[in-house]
């Protein structure tokens, strides 16, 4: 049974502010604290690594709490509505530090990240679990993830353009502060809309009785294979996200166009979404995802050869990479939602699966920040200085993620995660064949 467009839009609208928050946190925060506020780059890398590690470790617990709440009066929305206010408060604090000096700013950055990460995780894990429960149909789940991703991309584009626009008009500090103030009412309005417009779902299984249930998905063989793909693929995607503003400013030397490049990338991803849904219907989700990974490598590797003024060439790289990004957004969560149904657990386990999924994605981001930024500092790169090893920046930004993505594609080729992949994959769990 097909879901109505109203249901899809009503559920998906919360993805807009969640994506609005994610991009500045992962992309703008390193450059804002390094270039505008003067915090040492190595310190930022270590803080981001530690905060993301702590954030990742709390995700299984939040998934467990989501599963416990699934049978309650408000269901998983109880956890969503807990996280939304904390996300808003933490986001404003992150971009409006009332302190000065590298040490004080470092502590403020660490504390704000703890609050904003907790709020974001609490809201997003239960939100993803709700989406997995809207339908059990193989292809409809891809429609759900694609609709959610499309609204998320709209949020990303707003986050990519508004801070730059406001900063150019009001100054770097005032611009990001204004953006954080605009974010809060958008977050509250979208959360309320999703809560009101998404159908209330009754739990179809008993909630978990023991806290150990949060790690039960690791017993699922297909889930372990899927994580083996997500880890290299996620690290490969997180490195360019961390470094893109540095690359645009110091390699291309066109910092005013950073918003245009980001919009090109994400807009291409949004417009490619229906095509990836169609490809997955014809080839299966796994094969479509693999095609997207190969396209990402073929498109992005050319960024290493670019230099000052290569605006059009980099725009083409962003366009083609964005098309590949559409596959990354739509297909893996849909595969995971199918996989949960084959997990064989005796309780409502969507929260546990998506909690661990979020944990791995955040460990990927932590690894990207903890490796890429200190590595660049070690190689002598200094942001916005006009000096340093820009060749090292280009290699770290372009070649390293392509090599890691190639590993992810090889693992995906061998992974038994999609039963519709040419009819050749059985539904295997630890308990046998289902």
pLDDT surpassing 80 at residue 370: no
Phi/psi of residue 344, nearest 5 degrees: 75, 15
pLDDT surpassing 70 at residue 163: yes
Residue 118 is predicted with a pLDDT of 93
Angle between helices 258-283 and 221-247 (to 10 degrees): 160
pLDDT surpassing 70 at residue 264: yes
pLDDT surpassing 50 at residue 126: yes
- Mean pLDDT, residues 1-30: 81
Residue 199 is predicted with a pLDDT of 76
Residue 9 is predicted with a pLDDT of 83
152/137: higher pLDDT:
152
- pLDDT (tens digit per residue) in 323-345: 999 898 888 888 887 887 665 54
- pLDDT (tens digit per residue) in 203-216: 555 555 556 667 77
19/161: higher pLDDT:
19
Both structure tokens of 403? 């090599």
pLDDT surpassing 50 at residue 376: yes
Residue 206 is predicted with a pLDDT of 56
Residue 315 is predicted with a pLDDT of 94
Residue 16 is predicted with a pLDDT of 93
pLDDT surpassing 90 at residue 65: no
CA dihedral 170, 174, 179, 181 (to 10 degrees): -130
User: By the 8 A CB rule, do 404 and 413 touch?
Assistant: no
- Mean pLDDT, residues 230-236: 90
Q: How far is CA 195 from CA 49, 74, 348, 380, in A?
A: 33, 9, 20, 49
Interatomic CA distance for residues 426 and 342, integer angstroms: 11
pLDDT surpassing 80 at residue 31: no
pLDDT surpassing 90 at residue 386: no
Q: Which residues of 299-311 are buried (b: 16+ CB within 10 A; e: fewer)?
A: bbbbbbebeeebb
Query: What is the residue extent of each domain of the chain?
Result: 7-197+215-433
- Mean pLDDT, residues 285-300: 93
The region of weakest confidence among 207-221, 255-269, 277-291, 386-400 is: 207-221
SS3 letters for 210-225? CHHHHHHHHHCHHHHH
Band (pLDDT 50/70/90 cuts) for residue 428 is very low
Residue 24 is predicted with a pLDDT of 79
Residue 402 is predicted with a pLDDT of 94
Interatomic CA distance for residues 152 and 48, integer angstroms: 23
Band (pLDDT 50/70/90 cuts) for residue 416 is confident
- pLDDT (tens digit per residue) in 182-191: 999 999 999 9
Both structure tokens of 316? 């083409």
User: By the 8 A CB rule, do 217 and 353 touch?
Assistant: yes
- Mean pLDDT, residues 69-87: 83
pLDDT surpassing 60 at residue 424: no
User: By the 8 A CB rule, do 293 and 325 touch?
Assistant: no
Band (pLDDT 50/70/90 cuts) for residue 363 is confident
- Mean pLDDT, residues 23-34: 78
User: By the 8 A CB rule, do 246 and 382 touch?
Assistant: no
Residue 426 is predicted with a pLDDT of 37
Average pLDDT, the chain: 82
User: By the 8 A CB rule, do 262 and 19 touch?
Assistant: no
CATH 3.30.1360.120 fits 7-197+215-433, yes or no: no
């Amino acid at each position: 049974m097909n879901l109505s467009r109203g249901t899809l839009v009503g559920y998906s609208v919360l993805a807009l502010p969640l994506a609005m928050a994610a991009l500045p946190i992962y992309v703008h925060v390193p450059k804002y604290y390094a270039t505008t506020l003067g915090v040492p780059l190595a310190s930022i890398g270590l803080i981001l690594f530690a905060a993301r590690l702590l954030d990742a470790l709390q995700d299984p617990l939040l998934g467990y709490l989501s599963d416990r709440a699934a049978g309650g009066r408000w269901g998983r929305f109880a956890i969503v509505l807990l996280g939304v206010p904390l996300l808003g408060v933490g986001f404003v604090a992150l971009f409006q530090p009332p302190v000065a000096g590298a040490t004080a700013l470092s502590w403020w950055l660490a504390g704000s990240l703890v609050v904003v990460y907790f709020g974001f995780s609490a809201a997003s894990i239960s939100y993803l679990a709700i989406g997995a429960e809207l339908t059990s149909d193989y292809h409809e789940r891809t429609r759900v993830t694609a609709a959610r991703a499309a609204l998320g991309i709209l949020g990303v584009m707003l986050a990519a353009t508004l801070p730059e626009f406001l900063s150019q008009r009001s100054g770097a500090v005032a611009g990001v502060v204004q953006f954080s103030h605009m974010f809060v009412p958008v977050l509250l309005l979208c959360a309320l809309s999703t809560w009101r417009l998404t159908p209330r779902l009754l739990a179809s299984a008993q909630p978990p009785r023991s806290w150990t249930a949060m790690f039960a998905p690791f017993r699922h063989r297909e889930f372990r294979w899927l994580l083996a793909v997500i880890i290299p693929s996620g690290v490969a995607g997180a490195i360019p996200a961390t470094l893109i503003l540095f690359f645009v400013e110091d390699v291309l030397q066109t910092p005013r166009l950073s918003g245009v490049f980001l919009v090109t990338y994400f807009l291409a991803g949004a417009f490619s979404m229906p095509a990836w849904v169609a490809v997955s219907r014809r080839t299966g989700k796994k094969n479509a995802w693999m095609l997207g990974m190969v396209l990402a490598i073929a498109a992005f590797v050319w960024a290493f050869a670019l230099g000052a003024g290569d605006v059009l060439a980099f725009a083409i790289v962003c366009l083609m990479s964005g098309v590949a990004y559409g596959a990354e957004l739509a297909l893996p969560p849909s595969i995971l939602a199918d996989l949960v149904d084959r997990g064989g657990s005796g309780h409502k386990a969507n929260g546990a699966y998506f909690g661990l999924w979020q944990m791995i994605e955040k460990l990927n981001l932590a690894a990207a920040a903890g490796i890429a930024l200190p590595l660049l500092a070690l190689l002598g790169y200094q942001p916005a200085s006009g000096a340093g090893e820009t060749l090292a920046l280009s290699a770290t930004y372009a070649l390293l993620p392509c090599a890691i993505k190639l590993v992810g594609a090889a693992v995906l080729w061998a992974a038994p995660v999609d039963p519709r992949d040419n009819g050749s994959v059985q539904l295997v769990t630890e308990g046998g064949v289902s």
